[in-house]
Chain A
Amino acid sequence: MKNKLGAALLYLLVAAIPIIFVLFLIYWDVRQSSIENKLGDLVTINDLKAQIISDYFNSIEAQTIAHNYANIKIDLPILSHYSENTSSTEYIQAKKTLDAQLPTWIAPGNGIVDIMLVNTSGTIVYTANNNTQEIGKSLPDPENLAFSKGTKDIYTSDIFINKERNNLLTFFISSPVYDSQNNFVGVSAFEIDASNLYKLIENTSGLGKTGETLIGEIKYANGIPDHVLMLNPLRKDPGAAFQRQIPVGAKSAQPIQNATLGETGYGIVPDYAGNEVLAAWQYLPDQKWGLVTKIDLSEGIGQVNTLGLILIVLSLCVAIFAATTIFLLSKRSYDQFKLAVDNSSEQTSITDPEGKILYINQITEKITGYTINEIIGTKAGKLWSLPMPPEFYQNLWKIIKIDKKQFVGEIRNRRKNGEVYDAELKISPVLDKSNNIVFFVEIERDISLEKKLSETKNEVIAKDEAIFASIGDGLVVTDKEGKIVLVNQAFEQLTGWKKDESIGRLFADIIPREDESGNKVPFDERILQKVLEGKVVFTAATTTPTQSAVAVPPSYFIKKDGTKFPVVAIVSPIYIDGMIIGTVEVFRDISKEKEIDKIKSEFMSLASHQLRTPPSIIGWYAEVLQSGDLGPLNEKQSDYVKEIYKANQRMIAIINSLLNVSRIEAGTFSISPKNIEIKEIIDETVKELESRFNRTTELKKEYDPSLSAFQADPNIFQIIIDNLLSNAFKYTPPQNTKIEVAAKMEDDSLVLSVKDNGVGIPLKDRDRVFEKLFRADNAVSANPDGTGLGLYMIKKIIVNGLGGKIWFDSEEGKGSTFYVSIPSSGMKEKTGTTVLTRTIVR
């Protein structure tokens, strides 16, 4: 509630400022014009007073001059003449005449208190009041100018306090008196009661409670203006007349100073009492007086001040109204927050600026286990937050209260049931228009599951990284432009390029590739590029990422230092939603394999050379013996030599087969397809075999009419045909040999079949006939010369090398039919380090 009040006051202030400002302007304007008006009034009054004073003196002077005519002209010289002899008839007569007239002029109405007649030497010779004490003396004006000035012209003396007349304020108007011959005979001096003048001056009608008119005159000291003497009683200082002096240059009583110094004007100035007054002033040259009419500023603008008060009250009313409205409006926006809080899917609360929960949504009950009733009014988080280090809270309050920014942090909470969980805490201050915190919106989110997931994810990532690092083969991942995005440690070691140097660069740029002949592999020819450009076309069956990997032909990578090493590599496109987004290339330094291969092939060539030399010698010697060149052999001897020769030929065949097998197994044999005539090769082979087995066979050949030139490596094709046909010969009884050979185009394949009427394959051995070195029992007995390598070898060639198939039908004792299918597209060119040799010995 305290807070609400504070807010309301704040709104009040905010609303009041502009209103007060506007009202102040109005007030000020009115005040100024009011002052102007009042000053105008004062000037008018002042002028009026000046006029009154002028009129007053004029009228008085007119009376006194008029009075000079009459008996004074006649009688003054007489009185002057007989002044030493007052009992003379002339004197008495003259005095009588004057007494009959002059005292009648003394009347309160015209202000004349006395009329004195002065002889030419300045001595009073007559007073209308019959005041004998005055006779013989000079005129009593303090300045003693009434006589001397009065001898020449009409003169008005300064007002003075006449002690003789009970401190009456009087002044003299003196004027020269001339006789009928116009001779100067003396001075008439009328003493005038100044009360009437003062009454006129002091009339404060139209000047309210503080207004007045005052007069003063300058007094000199050593010829320079020294002070202003106030000439009339003042409202605030009744004893001021002839008493109060204002030093020239004083800060107070400026208008009278201005006026007495001859200036006419008006304005707001300090008066003799030091108050701010509205004043008009002017100089009265006739009297040498300064005349000031003034009124206190406070009274002069009194009505304006009333207006000001009204305006202040009015503005307060408006401000209070505005504040109330804004406050009510702000209360409404708080309600809108409530709706948002209710609808929030996270635990959300509104707290006051001190963190006390004012409002919280329903979901909180589910999360914390506390009921809303338990929560409302508590400090946020008090019920469920576990203590955090003090710095945490310092930082939190700094952010939300001082910086007035959103705070985001992680805390640990405990549900009512004791379960501890991690939560993300967000606190946002809600500010009013003047940037004051009205309340906080606090959102807490249970992130324990996320954390667990992220930990798992990090573990997975770490695992992935560890796996990448542990891969001994170089691994490089590129984006779809061929730029490196990831490499592993083996990559760094093998190529000499550091991870940081290579990422973001084209793989082809940093690692040039050479083929086996040392020629640079052009950019476009690189498999990686082909894979990216979609130039490597995958068949429908191989569109899955793992199957679409392409083996890169053996080549060399140029390392950073310019040296090279042989590699085998596999490039796989990386697919996302069927789009290639990059590649993974795994490559292996095969220097060692190459070395081993070299050693192996050297061994092979040595072995083949060494192993074949002895049987070659045996063969030739047996041949010479057999030929009878060294003398005739008996039948037995001839048979023995023949056996030696046969066994020797078998040995050579086995050696050749073994060599072929090792080449086939190594996959190093090359395939060089040419256009071959299938018929011719088969015919030639049959002919050769007939002569070798020294038997005539009933041979049936069936060639598909559509059969024409076929793309095949003649050597390999012959090895296949050799094996199939020689098996047919070997395992068929010498008499009544029936062999059927067929070559047909079926669908996408060339199918060769060789059918014999031989021993057949026993049921139990059918699964094993393609095994290395396996020989069926009946085969061994039918032909002990077999090696057990023929079918194994051709199956390897056909299936692994040519992508074909081999199968058979057989019935023990009746014969077998072997089928071979080779894709009709023929054999595919394959470069290799070895060639297969025919095993059949001539």
Chain B
Amino acid sequence: MENILSNKKILIAEDEPAMLNALADKFTQEGCVVVKAENGEIALSLFAKEKPDVILLDIVMPKVDGMKVLHEIRTSSDWGKRVPIIMLTNLSADDKIMTGIVASEPSYYLVKSDWKLYEVVEKVRDCFRSPAL
């Protein structure tokens, strides 16, 4: 089976090193080109520089939080409008910050503690599958 993730450039923004590493390792293993960002600020500059195919975006991050990053990306460029972004968080669904996400991009919201790593990979893979399939 063709690996649709191979050579896909993935930007992972996550301030928790252990999580960042786990995710980076997993997606490297899946054949992705992983770009790591330890906070929102780095994430934004890397996004502009690297033009990733997909973004995993943590919400609670120092400097610039994920919500802001999301907003910046979505309003920055044509690419920014189209790029699949999966929000990762350990916030609860009722957290105030979440209400915006749930409303705008409900399918791209994952609670880290509820999702196994391979499920996250599957979710990312979904982004590249043709809707027809």
Q: Please pick, from B93, B97, B117, B119, the residue contacting A837 in the complex, using a CB distance under 8 A.
A: B93
Q: Cα distance A601–B95 when bound, in Å? A: 8
B18-26, B68-76, B79-87 - interface stretch: B18-26
B117 contacts A620, C-beta separation under 8 Å:
yes
User: Is the CB–CB distance between B113 and A624 below 8 Å?
Assistant: no
Which residues of chain B are within 8 angstroms of A620 by Cβ–Cβ distance? 19, 22-23, 116-117
B95 and chain A: residue at smallest CB distance:
A605
CB–CB A608/B114 < 8 A:
no
Assess the A842–B112 pair: CB atoms within 8 A: no
The distance in angstroms between the C-alpha atoms of A604 and B89, with both chains bound, is 15
Q: Is A615 an interface residue, CB under 8 A from the partner?
A: yes
Q: Which residues of B contact A601 (CB under 8 A)?
A: 96
Check A612 against B94 for contact (C-beta < 8 Å): no
A619 touches B116 (CB 8 A): yes
Residue of B nearest to A715 (CB): B93
Residues of B within 8 A of A32 (CB): none
Residues of B within 8 A of A627 (CB): 118
Q: Is the CB of A842 within 8 A of B116?
A: yes
State which residues 85-117 of B face A: CB under 8 Å.
Answer: 89-97, 111-117
Q: Assess whether B91 is in contact with A617, with CB atoms less than 8 Å apart.
A: no
Whether the pair A833, B118 counts as a contact (CB closer than 8 A) is no
A263 within 8 A of B: no
Complex contacts, A525 vs chain B, CB 8 Å: none
CB distance from B92 to the nearest CB of A (A): 5
Are B117 and A623 touching (Cβ within 8 A)? yes
Say whether B90 contacts A624, CB under 8 Å. Answer: no
Measured in the bound complex, the distance between the Cα atoms of B94 and A623 in whole Å is 27
Contact, CB under 8 Å: A609 / B22: no
Which positions 595-616 of chain A face chain B at CB distance < 8 Å?
601, 604-605, 608-610, 612-613, 615-616
A736 to B112, CA, bound (A): 35
Q: Which residues of chain B have C-beta atoms less than 8 A from A28's C-beta?
A: none
- A835 interface hit (Cβ, 8 Å): yes
Q: Is the CB of A612 within 8 A of B22?
A: no
Q: Binary interface profile of A, 343-381, with partner B (CB < 8 Å = 1, else 0)?
A: 000000000000000000000000000000000000000
Q: Counting CB contacts under 8 A, is A841 at the interface? A: yes
Whether B115 pairs with A608 at a CB distance below 8 angstroms is no
How many Å lie between the Cα of A629 and that of B119 in the bound state? 15
A676 interfacial by beta-carbon distance below 8 Å: no
Q: Which of these, B29, B96, B112, contacts A612 with CB under 8 Å? A: B112
Q: What are the residues of chain A within 8 A of B19 when measuring CB–CB?
A: 613, 616-617, 620
Nearest-Cβ distance from residue B27 to partner chain A, whole angstroms: 12
Within 8 A of B (CB), among A252-278: none
* B97 partner residues in chain A, CB cutoff 8 A: 605
Asked if B117 and A624 sit within 8 Å, CB to CB, the answer is: yes
Q: Which residues of B contact A663 (CB under 8 A)?
A: 94
Tell whether B60 is near chain A: CB-to-CB under 8 Å.
Answer: yes
Q: Which residue of B lies closest to A840 (CB)?
A: B114
* CB-defined contacts of B95 to chain A, threshold 8 Å: 605, 608-609
How far is the CB of B95 from the nearest CB of chain A, in Å? 4
Q: Which residues of A contact B29 (CB under 8 A)?
A: 629
Are B119 and A842 in contact (CB-based, < 8 A)?
yes
- Of the candidates A604, A616, A621, which one forms a contact with B90 in the assembled complex, judged by CB atoms under 8 Å apart? A616
A842:B92 contact, CB within 8 angstroms: no
Are B25 and A609 in contact, CB atoms less than 8 angstroms apart? no
Bound state CA distance, A623 and B118, in angstroms? 9
Most buried by B among A609, A615, A659: A609
Contact: A609 with B16, CB < 8 Å? no
Q: How far is the CA of A652 from the CA of B114 in the complex (A)?
A: 8
**CA gap between A412 and B103 in the complex, in Å:** 83
Distance to closest chain A CB from B20 (angstroms) = 10
Contact B96–A605 (Cβ < 8 Å): yes
Contact partner of B115 (CB less than 8 A), chosen from A624, A669, A842, is A842
Query: Taking the complex as formed, is A834 at the interface, i.e. its CB lies under 8 A from any CB of chain B?
Result: yes
Q: Which residue of A lies closest to B92 (CB)?
A: A608
Given A613-B112, A841-B114, A842-B119, is A605 in contact with B22 using a C-beta cutoff of 8 Å?
no
Chain A residues with CB under 8 Å of B22's CB are 617, 620-621, 624
A609-B60, A613-B112, A621-B22 as given contacts; A834 in contact with B94, CB under 8 Å: yes
Of A604, A624, A659, the residue contacting B25 (CB under 8 A) is: A624
- Bound-state CA distance A621–B117 (Å) is 9
B90 CB, nearest partner CB in chain A, Å: 4
Q: Considering the chains assembled together, what is the distance between the CA atoms of A242 and B29 in angstroms? A: 185
Cα A355 to Cα B12 in complex, Å, equals 112
CA distance A620 to B24 in the complex (A): 12
Which residues of A, 649-705, contact B by the 8 Å Cβ criterion? 652, 655, 659, 663, 669
For A833, the closest partner residue in chain B by CB is B94
Given the complex, which residues of B lie within 8 Å of A605, measured CB to CB? 91-92, 95-97
A68 to chain B, nearest CB (A): 171
Given A629-B29, A833-B94, CB of A613 within 8 Å of CB of B115? no
A665 CB to nearest chain B CB (Å): 15
A664 to chain B, nearest CB (A): 12
Smallest Cβ-Cβ distance to B29: which chain A residue: A629
Min C-beta distance of B5 to chain A, whole Å: 15
In the bound complex, do residue A609 and residue B89 qualify as a contact, i.e. CB atoms below 8 Å apart? yes
Interchain CB contact under 8 A, B18 and A609: no
CB 8 Å contact bits of A814-842 with B (1 = contact, 0 = none): 00000000000000000001110100011
Chain A proximity of B119: nearest CB distance (Å): 7
Query: When the two chains form the complex, which single residue of A609, A652, A655, A842 contacts B91, counting CB atoms closer than 8 Å?
Result: A609
How distant is the Cα of A615 from the Cα of B112 in the complex, in angstroms? Answer: 9
Q: Is A617 touching B93 in the complex (CB atoms < 8 A)?
A: no
In Å, the complex CA distance between A833 and B95 comes to 9
Bound Cα distance from A601 to B98, whole angstroms: 13
Contact B26 A624 (CB under 8 A): yes
Tell me the bound Cα distance from A619 to B113 in angstroms.
8
Bound-complex Cα distance A833 to B116 (A): 28
Q: In the complex the two chains form, is A837's CB within 8 Å of B25's CB? A: no
Expressed in whole angstroms, the Cα–Cα distance for A605 and B91 within the complex equals: 6
B114: shortest Cβ distance to chain A, in Å? Answer: 6
Interchain CA distance A710-B113 in the complex, whole Å:
31
Contacts of B18 in A (CB 8 A): 617, 621
A488 CB, nearest partner CB in chain B, Å = 36
Residues of B within 8 A of A613 (CB): 16, 19, 90, 112-113
A605-B95, A837-B93 known; A612+B113 contact, CB < 8 A = yes
- Alpha-carbon distance A612/B114, docked complex (angstroms): 9
Q: Given A620-B22, A624-B26 in contact, is the A842-B114 Cβ separation under 8 Å?
A: yes
**Docked complex Cα distance between A842 and B90 (Å):** 15
Among B90, B96, B117, which residue has its beta carbon within 8 angstroms of that of A608?
B90
User: Interface 1/0s, chain B 43-77, versus A by CB < 8 A?
Assistant: 00000000000000000100000000000000000
Query: Which of chain B's residues have a CB closer than 8 A to the CB of A837?
Result: 92-94
In the bound complex, residues from chain B placing their C-beta under 8 Å from that of A629 are: 29
Question: Which residues of chain A come closer than 8 Å to B16, judged between CB atoms?
Answer: 613, 617
User: Which residues of A in the span 566-616 have a Cβ within 8 Å of any Cβ on B?
Assistant: 601, 604-605, 608-610, 612-613, 615-616
Residues of A within 8 A of B90 (CB): 608-610, 612-613, 616
Complex interface: chain A residues within 8 A of B111 (CB): 612
Q: Which residues of A contact B116 (CB under 8 A)?
A: 619-620, 623, 842
Which residue in chain B gives the minimum CB-CB distance to A659?
A: B92
Option from A604, A616, A834, A835 in Cβ contact (under 8 Å) with B113: A616
**Chain A: minimal CB distance from B70 (Å):** 17
B residues in contact with A610, CB < 8 Å: 90
How distant is the Cα of A597 from the Cα of B89 in the complex, in angstroms? Answer: 23
Task: Identify 18 new A-B residue pairs, CB closer than 8 A, beyond the known A612-B90, A620-B23, A835-B92.
Answer: A605-B91, A609-B91, A609-B95, A610-B90, A612-B112, A613-B90, A613-B112, A616-B19, A619-B116, A620-B116, A623-B116, A623-B118, A624-B26, A652-B114, A834-B94, A837-B93, A841-B113, A842-B115
10 closest Cβ pairs, A-B complex:
A612-B90, A834-B94, A616-B112, A612-B113, A605-B95, A616-B113, A835-B94, A617-B18, A609-B90, A620-B117
16 contacts between A and B (CB under 8 A): A605-B96, A608-B90, A608-B91, A609-B89, A609-B90, A613-B113, A619-B116, A620-B23, A623-B118, A624-B117, A629-B29, A663-B94, A669-B94, A833-B94, A834-B94, A835-B93
